[in-house]
Structure 1
Amino acid sequence: MHSVNIVNLKKGVNKLRMYYIGRFAVRLVMRLFFRISVCGSECIPKQGAVIICSRHISNWDPLLIGISMKRAVSFMSKEELFRFKPLGMLIKSVHGFPIQRGGNDRAAIKTALQILSQDGILVVFPEGSRNRTGDGLQPLQRGAALLASRSQASVVPVGIVGPYRLFGRVHIRFGEPFVISADTAKESGTSIAEYAKTTIESRLLAILEETLHDTANS
């Protein structure tokens, strides 16, 4: 039993080492392509389970969020991206895992809840797919609300504003964390699922407005 624990510890250390190596490589590439402005990173809890809820405008979003934080993060990524093996290996090295779109991917939800149960940080995109118009928010899917209500993790809203073009400036703003609680949902007179969804939506819209203000004044 003791030897098994040592082996598992070594695997964990090696996996974390690969994460930071991969993140360093991603940071170098991203800063070559884009001018990245980050604000509010001090809002991210230094310990405990955290769900980063972000607006979604590009496939680059999870990577840019990951390199903007000190703590290691995990994130869901559409399974199609893993079909190109070099890209899939890079995504896995920075703790990305696949999710099937358009359905209830129980395996991905189970993985996400496991990460949160171990006090990890999970990046999710409540819109479910990229906002191709670049305006406001698309209708939110229920995945982020489900994870927030089940895990009791701190939720940090994130606003991202592009453009994602060569040498374009991308603004990332982290907002104040909040927790979805059954007691507060009860006080609101709605189910915890509906309360979680509307709260996440209102916080995302607020942080998006702040991010757009940053963009206008930069």
Structure 2
Amino acid sequence: MNFYSFARGVVKVVLSPIYPVKVIGHEHFPKTDGVLLCTNHIDNLDPPIVGITAPRPVSFMAKEELFNVPILGNVVKRLKAFPVKRGMSDREALRVGLKLLKNGEVLGLFPEGTRSKDGSLGKGLAGAGFFALRSNAAVVPCAIIGPYKPFKRLTVVYGKPIDMDSLREQKASAEDATEVIMNSIKELIDHHS
């Protein structure tokens, strides 16, 4: 058993009794090939909740500061996350993300770039659109519907992959592609709230 599977099991045992999770749409998640998983961001617990509900291991792009925290930084690294410098174009993070997708792995992103203060969906950053247009990965929208309150049910919804072919053909901008992704996440939230 690798570290990711072990940690996933531990997190599931710890979090599941406190935050019971209903998962919808597992069948939409591609079983093979690269997947760009784009999720709304409402709480610091979003990455572990997605990690224990996604059918495949997820490599999250995480803020660089986390990797500098003693012990936590090492754990985050071993959980397949990689750092991104916030507030600027981080070419190394973009390169790592594209490589993961090309290698048939799952790249997890929170397109808003930061947690929502009030739980509402914010504007997505261009990075999600960049990965969607520059790779042939399936783009899967995901909605976490809270709030995070002990013993209250959380819902995690995996939507059908978004067809990005027409946007790629039109040579759409990364911003336009991100907007399509954010609209898909919003539809999941509206439909299942």
Check conservation: 1:148, 1:179, Cα contact below 8 A.
no
What is the CA–CA distance in structure 2 between the aligned matches of 1:166 and 1:23, rounded to whole Å?
20
SS at match of 1:62: helix
Q: Once the two structures are superposed, what CA deviation does each residue of 1:149-168 show, in whole Å capped at 9, x if it has no partner? A: 00121011111111223223
* Displacement over 6 Å in runs of 4+: none
Q: Tell me which residue corresponds to 1:185.
A: 167
Q: Tell me which residue corresponds to 1:60.
A: 45
Q: Tell me which residue corresponds to 2:184.
A: 203
TM-score, length basis structure 2: 0.92
Check conservation: 2:145, 2:154, Cα contact below 8 A.
yes
More helix by share: 1
Check conservation: 1:20, 1:94, Cα contact below 8 A.
no
Q: Tell me which residue corresponds to 2:84.
A: 99
What is the CA–CA distance in structure 1 between the aligned matches of 2:92 and 2:175, rounded to whole Å?
23
Distance 1:78-1:168 versus aligned 2 partners, 3 A rule: farther
What is the CA–CA distance in structure 2 between the aligned matches of 1:101 and 1:48, rounded to whole Å?
28
Which structure has the larger Rg over C-alpha atoms? Answer: 1
Give the number of the structure with larger relative contact order, counting CA–CA contacts within 8 Å between residues 6 or more apart. Answer: 2
Distance 1:186-1:87 versus aligned 2 partners, 3 A rule: closer
TM-score, length basis structure 1: 0.82
Residue ranges of structure 1 left out of the alignment (5+ in a row)? 1-15, 213-218
Check conservation: 2:142, 2:156, Cα contact below 8 A.
yes
The alpha-carbon deviation at position 87 of structure 1 amounts to: 2.0
Tell me the C-alpha RMSD between the 2 structures.
1.8
Identity %: 36
What is the CA–CA distance in structure 2 between the aligned matches of 1:190 and 1:70, rounded to whole Å?
31
The alpha-carbon deviation at position 50 of structure 1 amounts to: 0.4
Residue ranges of structure 2 left out of the alignment (5+ in a row)? none
Check conservation: 1:35, 1:167, Cα contact below 8 A.
yes
What is the CA–CA distance in structure 2 between the aligned matches of 1:87 and 1:77, rounded to whole Å?
12
The alpha-carbon deviation at position 192 of structure 1 amounts to: 4.0
